[in-house]
Every structure is written in C-alpha cells, then in structure tokens.
Amino acid sequence: MLQVGILGASGRMGRNLIDAVYQDAHTQLHSATVRPESHFLNADAGELAGIGNIDVALTAQSATAYDKCNVMIDFTLPNALATNLQLAIANQIPIVIGTTGLNEAQLALLDDAATHIPIVFAANYSVGVNLLIKLSQQAAQIMGETADIEIIETHHRHKIDAPSGTALALGNCIAATLGRDLHSDAVYGREGHTGERPQQQIGFATVRGGDVVGDHTVLFAELGERIELTHKASSRMTFAKGAVRAAKWLADKPNGLYSMMDVLSLNDL
C-alpha cells in the first residue's frame, strides 16, 4: 500500500486529495499538514474531508510528516515551495506539486530539486485537461501558422492568480510547437484602440466569478472557419484523482522533473 502525505490538507484541493487517497484501493493517507496557526490543527483529516474519522491527525509541516512516507502531494502556496522541496530532498521522498502561480526563481528551484528527487509538476492534474494540451499542440502544428490563437479561461471568484496556470501551460505548449516565445507573443487582455490583431499573437482572456471549478477553451480562428477545443471541470475531484494517479506513477521513478504528459504517456502519441 502506497503511503501518501498531503501538504496543504485544509484547502479546497487538500480536502479532495484526502478523499481521493481514501477512495483509491492502492493508497493510504500517511500524513496531512496544515499551517501551524490553522484552527484545524490536530483535527482528524477524514472528518475535515467529510468521509468520517480515519485516524490521521492534521499536523503542522515538519520532517515527521515525511517519515515512512512513500510520496508527498503538495497543493499549497508558492511561498511554501522552498520549504516543501527542502524537506522532500532531506527525506528523499518523491513529490507531486500542483501549486500554481510560480515565478521564475521558484521554477528554477523545481529544476534543481529534480536532480535530487523525482518530481511531477503540472499546472493541472485533470486527465482531460492534459488531453486538451495534447490536442492543442496537434492543432497548432496544422493551423498555427495561419490561424489566430486565443485562450479563454474561467474560474471561481476565489482564484488568486491570472491567467490560470493551465491557460499558461496551453500557451507555452502552443508557442513551443510553433517555435515562438510566449513572453513576446502573449497579450493578456485588450482595451481601447488596439489596432489590427497581429497574427503571431497568442491572446488570453480571463473570467472570474461564482464557483466555476475551471473552464478552458483554445480557439484557432481562420478566415471562414474556426476550431474550438474546450474542457470544463465540474468537480475538483478530477484534479485530486489525477494527482493521486501521478503519485502512484512517480513512486518508483528515478530523479527528474516529470509532467502529467509523462504520467499519461501522451508524449508518445
């Protein structure tokens, strides 16, 4: 039985991860951490997730959470990444990271940590979203040189980063496929007299409201026709189950930085 630890267990994703680990026949929740000041400290993780008592108390982040653990899953905040990686390296524990909104320095930390431990890092752990990324890559290969490309994403009112990590992952994948630089080609919103749209632009539109779990559409617009590739998530459990799938895949892998494309073997298609 794979022993799994969850970092950031009291958040919306953390609670779904507890449930997903509990539901999976091949995983068992070993530890679950919250911030030291959290009022959930010492509560039962199962009670927090709404699945009943599972005899795993919520603890503060520390080396003891990694003891005898096979793999960690981290859905905390960017400012916790450095500490989480340091503890994972110190304890030689593989880690699945779903934290979004990372800056260049934090992405560099991931690259360095991956020389010491195996890591899966993805902007989105949904199987469907990763298929959307693959399909967008294929569409870019066929239409990207002439089509106008726009990425539209919608999330709940509580999301703190924009565009979403998934939208940026889609943009980066498309740009890489076309040999472009997203930093120079991306446009994040338009207002006023913008002039005609340069074809090489990759546009982003962000919508925030209500309790939308996550919608993403990639638009390839030609003169006379368009392709719209859309994924809509109706439950965070799809992300949680994908992260658990990644954890099971990662547990016996050599050191390195992997993605959900590796987990799902989509790079082979």
CA distance 176 to 233: 26
Q: Is 155 a catalytic residue?
A: yes
Q: Is 30 a catalytic residue?
A: no
Topology of the domain comprising 127-233 = Dihydrodipicolinate Reductase; domain 2 (3.30.360)
Q: Catalytic pick from 39, 68, 155, 231?
A: 155
pLDDT at position 75 is 93
pLDDT in tens, the chain (269 residues): 999 999 999 988 999 999 999 999 999 999 999 988 889 989 999 998 999 999 999 998 777 888 889 999 999 999 999 999 999 999 999 999 999 888 999 999 999 999 999 999 998 899 999 999 999 999 999 999 999 999 999 999 999 889 998 999 999 999 999 999 999 999 999 999 999 999 999 999 999 999 999 999 999 999 999 999 999 999 999 999 999 999 999 999 999 999 999 999 998 77
Task: For residue 94, give Cα distances in angstroms to 57, 80, 148, 168.
Answer: 22, 17, 40, 25
pTM attached to this predicted model:
0.84
183, two tokens: 């930093």
Q: Catalytic pick from 134, 156, 159, 193?
A: 159
CATH number given to 2-121+236-268: 3.40.50.720
pLDDT at position 5 is 96
DSSP three-state, residue 240: helix
pLDDT at position 261 is 93
- Where helices occur in 80-120 by DSSP H, the ranges are 81-91, 104-113
Q: What are the residue ranges spanned by the domains of the chain? A: 2-121+236-268, 127-233
DSSP state of 258: E
Same fold, 2-121+236-268 and 127-233: no
CA distance 53 to 177: 48
CA distance 228 to 225: 10
